Structure 1
Amino acid sequence: MKIFKFGGASVKDAEGVKNVTKVLASQGFERCLLVVSAMGKTTNALEKVVEDYFKKADYQAEIAKVKQYHLEISNGLFEENHPVFEDVSLFFDDIDAFLRRNRSPNYNFVYDQVVSSGELISSKILSEYLNLKQFTNTWLDARDYLKTDSTYREGVIDWVQTQRNISLLDASRCYVTQGFIASEGDNFTVTLGREGSDYSAAVFAYGLDAEAMTIWKDVPGVMTGDPRKFEDVSLLSHISYEEAIEMAYYGASVIHPKTLQPLQQKNIPFYVKSFLEPEKPGTKVGNTEENRFEESYILKENQHLLRIATRDFSFIAEEHLSQIFAQLAKLRIKISLMQNSAISLALCLEDKYGAIDEMLQALQQDFSTEIIRDVSLFTVRNADMNDLDRFYVNKNILLEQIAKRTVQIVTN
């Protein structure tokens, strides 16, 4: 069975949805499972709904905007009496009904119940359109198959239950389902973290012992740098699982960090290809002797540089590190880069959930802290160590680290 994942950019409008049929026609539509993200910027729009709900602002006006966007896409795909219009409307009625009756103050819980609707709606529209065009498929609710704990907004997969559920699927058929979403023991929706649709596809691939998994992007494949941020980048035609994991860890946006592990465990080949040029080979990730260790550039923006020191100038010892890391884990703040000296610790942090001020407050009881907000982390993989000066030109360097042909620089 083949797994295809289509991101939000590939289905951002009616023409994008129509193009999916062209991609599938070029690849062969049999024994496959399609995982689809929310359309365009829907996730951002639904995040605004949740934000306005907790601010007691007019969240219903935001819901109406998102609904209109999806109805306009549907108008470009279906005759006006098609049942999909009622399906789309019901999804938005469910969002409104949930928010009107909700009594939970838990932001993350409410977030998952609302924002997950984007994938449910996009997958329903895509599934219905494919059926209309004779690409016969069955729509699946991913929450019936992917099971997690109750860590809202970043659920941890229950692999035993999930494997058991996925094994019930008929591998001779074609399915359309959602990325990013799962459910916990009480069947409340749990999301898998921003950009988690790639991970969902990998979980399905693992459970189905897929022959291959392909992610369809708006770029030719895995490049030596994001072409929107760097000049003169090139395609990496073959890379190993290990190199792909390293690139994802350092922040390469084309690959979700969790995606590779389940694929590597079962040696499932992983392709990154362009939905604009599906006939081109793209990038193959897997066990390969053709791994290309080319100089690659990764830029992680919206980071924070936090310097922590003991108040009495004593060493940063194990008990201090344990205390600091416990706070990071509690608040789900990710470390992008770490560097320590005898009496201080420097951390470049990714604060996806807006918890950095709470972190500072907790640490200031025992430590001196200094924070520089909104910095960038620039990483060069497989760097030419004889020509490092070019990476420092016109940059205000706040922190640097060099190890094994990997150069990392924090700048503002």
Structure 2
Amino acid sequence: MIRLRLVVAASFCMLLSSCFKDEPLNAECDILEAYVHVENPSETFFNPTDTLVKVTSEANSVTFKVRKSADITRLAPVFRLTEGAVINPESGSIHDFSDGSVTYTVTSQNGEWSRMYSVVFQPSVQTVTDVMPFDFEWFYLDSSGKYYIWNDKKEDGSDADNWATGNPGFKLSRGSAAPDEYPTVPWSDGYDGTAVKLETKSTGALGVLVNKRIAAGNLFLGSFNIGMALTNTLKATRFGVPFDRKPLKFTGYYKYKPGEKFQDEKGNIIEGKTDRASVYAVLYRNHDANGNDVVLYGDDVMTNENIVAVARVSEIKTTDTWTLFEADFEYKCEIDESLVNENGYNLAVVFSSSEDGDLFRGAIGSTLIVDKVRIECEKIQE
């Protein structure tokens, strides 16, 4: 009997060992966070929290914002990766970032997948123009070739990496869609050159399954966290980019046509209700009184206590001709000039083809086209 128990126990251990050995290795190869240690953070960064960058799953670059005077010739970024992944060059190795970005390759635990990331320490360049232009002429397809991404050029010619859309989330529900079938796409017949077309789309069978039946076309200054797209959609949109001027007026040109049938989040048609587009800009402090990072999300973009000023276009009329919109920034409190110079404010600019699209309410087919957007700022005193 004892010998039988030993044989059974040995067999169980062998089976258990076999189960562990057969468990598939992780196929993910992502950078989750990047961190850099420097002796005097205030000499390199604007805020202590700027030493840490959280990387969204769709990003292919990691950008640290640093002071113009920062010494970036010997820095050693440290990376937190998906389980079992390895990175080359090695995490914590020293590199000279003064000549531009350094390319890192992350390889999955199973060795079958890899991703390349561009890591850059970007010195702040003081904005000198009094009018910030956004003309939407710089766009390209993402690495999978499925949807469009927009970018602007800074005054020094570098990429701003400033615009985001909900297109990555739409890919989860309608992965077979062609690039021009996504909610946010280029529009060749712009007011001047190329514009952006935002159209509220059906998310198909998967959208019905998860009770997220529509996807409004949207475009905003900020970033989109694909990891939150299905679980907490309002937290997927991270509004705002650093802004070092005092904005006064928000202007641009648009065309708009609402879809025929407005539906609620359950797909019920609401008779007599007409869809509305949403166009606004928000200036806010990007750190709270305790020095913690502040980001506006879909659930507090108009209510967060760190908001300083809002410019909201009160009415977007139905029109098939290019129509001027304009709104003044209404300030809730005085702007702090010292914070302006320290990159202490973020600016969010938001466009959506359906005002309640973040709640999955709207009309399929609602279409907003925007172009030649401008942020007019207070003139710098000489």
TM-score, scaled to structure 2: 0.25
TM-score, scaled to structure 1: 0.24
* More helix per residue: 1
* More strand per residue: 2
Task: Identify which of structures 1 and 2 has the higher relative contact order when contacts are C-alpha pairs closer than 8 Å and 6+ apart.
Answer: 2
